[in-house]
Amino acid sequence: MNTQAPVKLGPLALLLAVISICLATLAILTAATARADRALAEKYADTVRTRYELELEAQEFRRDLSEAFANGADTAQDGAVITRTFEKNGALLEVGLVPGPDGLRVIRWRQQHVWEPDESIHVWEGE
């Protein structure tokens, strides 16, 4: 005669189903978060690349201007501000240089991003 007790799989199967659902949900959330992090990192990389390209252009402008003054360009305008704005992909770099007897002096080196507010949404301004 067989005296073994029957194995009850109901509670175990239910527990495994809940664990499987939890793991699947966490896997989906992980994949979505990784995709969002990658998109944000690529956007940041583009921003940094643009800023460094602007910096390179401005440094080359400063170098060329320094060489021109060193080679005898008109320096009678000592104290006059030479300004130039560099633009790329909505980023701006404003440079201001002043020629003097000891070379160029940087008085302005400012980066900013062009931003325009979204006017398509009407926000209540009171009364």
Tell me the two tokens of residue 29. Answer: 């959330």
Closest CA to 51 of 112, 103, 10: 112
Tens place of pLDDT per residue across the chain (127 aa)? 567 777 677 888 999 999 999 999 999 999 999 999 999 999 999 999 999 999 999 999 999 998 888 787 665 555 688 999 999 988 999 999 998 777 888 899 999 988 887 788 887 877 7
Q: What pLDDT score was predicted for residue 49? A: 96
The pTM for the full model equals 0.67
96: CB partners within 8 A, 6+ apart: 81, 82, 83, 106, 107, 108, 109
CA distances (Å), origin 4, targets 1, 7, 11: 9, 9, 19
Q: Where are the domains of the chain?
A: 10-113
